[in-house]
Amino acid sequence: MAVVFERPKALCDVPLHYCPGCTHGIVHRLVAEVIDEMGIEGETVGVCPVGCSVFAYDYFNCDMIEAPHGRAPAVATGVKRSNPDKFVFTYQGDGDLAAIGTAETVHVGARGENIVVIFINNTIYGMTGGQMAPTTLIGQVTQTTPFGRDSQLAGNPIRVCEMMATLSGTALAQRVAVDTVPHIRETKKAIRKAFENQKEKRGLSIVEVLSTCPTNWGLSPIDAIKRLQDEMIPYYPLGVYKDITAEGGNK
Amino acid sequence: MERNLMKGNEALAEAAIRAGCKCFFGYPITPQTELAAYMAKRMNKAGGVFLQAESEIAAVNMVLGAASTGVRAMTSSSSPGISLKSEGISYLAGSDVPAVIINVERGGPGLGGIQPSQQDYWQATKGLGHGDFHLIVYAPASVQEMVDMVVTAFNKADEYRVPAMILADGLLGQMMEPVAFPEISAEQPDKSSWAANGHKNSREHHIVNSLYIDPKTLEDKIIERYERYAKIKENEADAELYLTDDADIVVCAFGATSRVVKSAINDARAMGIKVGMCRPKTVWPFPEKQIREACANASKVLCVEMSMGQMIDDVKLALNCEKPVEFFGRTGGVIPTPAEVLDKIKSMGGNK
């Protein structure tokens, strides 16, 4: 019988710890598919963050390093600078990348560090039980914004791709989502482009993936997808914010 | 062997390159900045990587990344910057990743001052970051010793899979002395059993990690690490003994302070005072046996430090508080003079 669907080789054959309805699994799979298709698993080093995806070192079959909270881009810089022929990616959540690790994130863009950053934006800290993230939307209720995020008290959510697109070393800054099959396909294309950029030594590629956190949002997986579409995409518009390979295609 | 007149900070950098350091990640801070500046000039030509990071935190994490792939990597800073690096140093230790960190100490706490100090002794030897762990900490007293200890630090860090520190101070970093660079074997230890540098489809994937959610697993990891620490304690503790055989007073001092003490001891000897010195060359592991031997016939012990008194705790522990241990120190960047130390020695009545 023809095999129509199987586990990518770059994903280990182990159960993932993610909650039901969480979209980390989809993004892990897409990254692994790209690694498989490019045949680069043996030449790839991944860097995990602190947060829900901290255990990604047990899920990706390539060599993996676990970084301190927010420092994955710096760790990846060390890996890439000493091993310029290897593919290096980080996989980070919004608290990791856009709060504690903002300096590290901005400076890999400023330096044009030739790495891939996969950025999971689900507007909340998942691992610690649902606190306000730098990307938490105005009015969103979390453990640390029990009356909804108030911009007067807690500032406004950061649009990371828009910010990273301003940096001259950024080759690709693209926001995608994993709420529908067409969007998932688009996400995979963006991840592929990011790794191809690294192959061609074009600089930093960041792919921001709008994702869900049904557990900490207090929603069913289906309602969580609906929230992503109705509330997140309007504030975080999907699209290519910078692509140095495109001709006039930037937002 | 050819000898060159070099500034301490530059000698540290040159020694690292010769020891096979392939990556240096730095950030400016007085009084260690010449080290990074020297690396910026030399490292790329030597076939390595120099990068000025956006912060001390980023610099030590770049070291974590590079060293996790099995290459020799180093960062350097001075006291306030070392506090920032402590997170990364804890991760290096918890991930069993060897690396070398240099602290050219200045006065603290807070922004403190920019003059030489030894106020980071406790930090370096007892608590350089969260968790149960140690670094091997070398305390050089001359520019030549800084060179030799950088080479040793890389070798021992690799041998035991632990981070190692050179605990220098602004005096040593800024002084110029003649140095000779030892012949260094190009051969480096094989790290292929753990390095995360791409498995080339020829082995299982490697994970460099410090997280162990299951307490028993974490405990086992730490216990295994402490077995290595026990070997380090047994094999690597080192001290210089100076005129201790007949000494009635033994002075304990490390680093630049020991040179001041040596002058005071020579003056005291000329006056007929039987005084000697025990100088720890490693401050972790602490040379307890050497101190006990040095003090065996002494009636009194004096600890001299550029701090309010930190190493004195370890001296008392090494002697099981069986002998009186007095203290003389200057702090905040003030360097004790030989005359002050001599006065202290005389005041201890070592005139027999």
pLDDT interval class at B321 (50, 70, 90): very high
Domain of residue B232, CATH code = 3.40.50.970
Q: What is the pLDDT of residues A149-178, one digit of tens each?
A: 999 999 999 999 999 999 999 999 999 999
Contacts of B264-269 with C-beta under 8 Å, sequence gap 24+, read B264/B338, B264/B339, B264/B341, B264/B342, B264/B345, B265/B345, B267/B338, B267/B342, B268/B342, B268/B345, B268/B346, B268/B350, B269/B243
Quick one: B110 and B123 in the same domain? yes
Do B105 and B167 have their domain in common? yes
Mean pLDDT of B64-90: 98
Q: Are residues B117 and B137 in the same domain?
A: yes
Average pLDDT value over all residues in chain B: 96
Kindly indicate the confidence band of residue B1, based on its pLDDT and cuts at 50, 70 and 90. Answer: confident
- Are the CB atoms for A10 and A89 separated by under 8 Å? no
Tally of structural domains, chain B:
2
B339: region left, alpha or beta (phi > 0 left; psi from -120 to 50 alpha): alpha
Residues of chain B with Cβ-Cβ distance to A82 below 8 Å are 22-23, 49, 65-66, 69, 71, 73
pLDDT of B248 above 70: yes
Q: How many CA atoms lie within 13 A of B79 on its CB side?
A: 24
Residue B27: what pLDDT? 97
For chain A, what's the residue count? 251
- A24-243: which CATH topology? Rossmann fold (3.40.50)
B148 lies in the same domain as B46: yes
Asked if residue B321 is part of any domain, the answer here is yes
Confidence of residue A74 (pLDDT cuts 50, 70, 90): very high
Q: Is residue B221 part of a domain?
A: yes
Q: Which pLDDT value is given to residue B349?
A: 80
CATH of the domain at B290: 3.40.50.920
What pLDDT shows up at residue A216?
97
Helices B143-160, B215-236: crossing angle, 10 deg rounding: 140
Percent of chain A predicted with pLDDT > 90: 96
Residue by residue, DSSP assigns B81-134 as HHHHHHHHHHHHHHTT--EEEEEEEB--STT--SSB--TTHHHHHH-SSSSS--
Alpha-carbon span A17 to A55, nearest angstrom: 8
Is A26 at the interface with chain B, CB within 8 A?
no
pLDDT recorded at residue B350: 57
A75 with B61: Cβ contact below 8 A: yes
Buried b (16+ CB within 10 A) or exposed e, B321-350: eebebbbbbbbebebbebebbbebbbebeb
Q: Please, which pLDDT band fits residue A1 given cuts at 50, 70 and 90? A: confident
Instruction: Determine whether B101 is exposed, middle or buried from the number of CB atoms within 10 Å of its CB (0-12, 13-18, 19+).
Output: buried
- By the 10 Å C-beta count (0-12 exposed, 13-18 middle, 19+ buried), B83 is classed as middle
Q: Is B171 found in the same domain as B116?
A: yes
Rounded to 5 degrees, what are φ and ψ at B153? -60, -45
Query: For testing the chain B interface, which of A41, A45, A102, A111 should be mutated: the one with the most B CBs within 10 Å?
Result: A45
Residue B201 located in a structural domain: no
CB atoms B66 and A64 under 8 Å = no
* DSSP for residue B257: H
Residue A142 scores a pLDDT above 80: yes
ipTM of the complex: 0.96
Residue B352, pLDDT above cutoff 90 = no
Q: Is A112 on the interface with B (CB under 8 A)?
A: no
Residue B344: band (very low, low, confident or very high) from pLDDT cuts 50, 70, 90: very high
Q: At B70, is the secondary structure helix, strand, or coil?
A: coil
The tokens for B340 are 């002050």
Note which residues in 56-85 of chain A have CB less than 8 A from chain B: 57-58, 60-68, 71, 74-83
Give how far Cα A146 sits from Cα of A141, A157, A198, A232, Å: 5, 16, 42, 19
Q: What residues of A are in contact with residue B25 (Cβ under 8 Å)? A: 78
Contacts of B55 in chain A (CB under 8 A): 103
Percent of chain B scoring above 90 in pLDDT: 96
For position A229, what pLDDT does the model report? 98
Question: Which residues does chain B have within 8 Å of residue A76's beta carbon, measured at their own beta carbons?
Answer: 65
| Structural domain includes residue B192 | no
Among residues B243, B240, B248, the alpha carbon closest in space to that of B265 is found at B243
Cα–Cα distance measured from residue A99 to residue A91, given in angstroms and rounded to the nearest whole number? 15
Q: Do both B258 and B156 map to the same domain?
A: no
Contact status, residue A90 vs residue B233, Cβ threshold 8 Å: no
A118 pLDDT more than 60? yes
Domain that holds residue B335: 239-347
**How many residue pairs from chains A and B have C-beta atoms closer than 8 A?**
135
Mean pLDDT rounded to a whole number for chain A? 96
Say yes or no: B217 and B277 in one domain: no
Report the pLDDT averaged over residues B144-150. Answer: 98
Q: Are residues B170 and B260 in the same domain?
A: no
The letter for the amino acid at B2 is E
Query: What is the C-alpha end-to-end distance of chain B, expressed in Å?
Result: 43
- The angle at the Cα of B293, spanning B326 to B169, to the nearest 5 degrees, equals 55
Q: Is residue B195 part of a domain?
A: no
Q: What is the pLDDT of residue A248?
A: 56
Residue B122 and residue B52 in one domain: yes
Subunit contact A107:B58, Cβ cutoff 8 A:
yes
Q: Is pLDDT of A251 > 70? A: no
* Nearest residue of B to residue A69, measured between CA atoms: B87
3-state secondary structure of A207: strand
Residue B327: its H or E element:
strand B325-329
Q: Are residues B151 and B211 in the same domain?
A: yes
Q: Is the pLDDT of residue A249 over 60?
A: no
Q: How far apart are CA A206 and CA A90, in angstroms?
A: 10
> Are B243 and B121 found together in one domain?
no
At residue A247, the pLDDT reads 67
**Which pairing describes strands A44-48 and A87-93: parallel, antiparallel, or unpaired?**
parallel
Task: Tell me whether residues B209 and A66 touch, CB distance under 8 A.
Answer: yes
**pLDDT value, residue B183:** 86
The minimum CA-CA distance between A225 and chain B, rounded to whole Å, is 30
- The answer to whether residues B87 and B129 touch, using CB atoms and an 8 Å cutoff, is yes
CB A33 within 8 A of CB A50: no
Contact between B118 and B305 under an 8 Å Cβ cutoff? The reply is yes
Residue B243 lies in a domain: yes
- Best A9, A82, A102 residue to mutate vs chain B (most B CBs within 10 Å): A82
Compute the average pLDDT of residues B324-337: 97
Is B264 contained in some domain?
yes
Q: How near does any CA of chain A get to the CA of B180, in Å?
A: 29
Q: Crossing angle of helices B8-18/B143-160, nearest 10°?
A: 40
Query: Is the model's pLDDT at B121 over the cut of 90?
Result: yes
H or E segment at A188?
Answer: helix A181-199
Residue B303 Ramachandran class (φ > 0 left, ψ -120 to 50 alpha, else beta): beta
B202 located within any domain: no
Burial class (CB in 10 A: 0-12, 13-18, 19+), A20: exposed
What distance in Å separates the CA atoms of residue B331 and residue B344, rounded to the nearest whole number? 16
| B107 lies in the same domain as B232 | yes
User: Can you give the residue ranges of every domain in chain A?
Assistant: 24-243
- Give the pLDDT of residue A66: 98
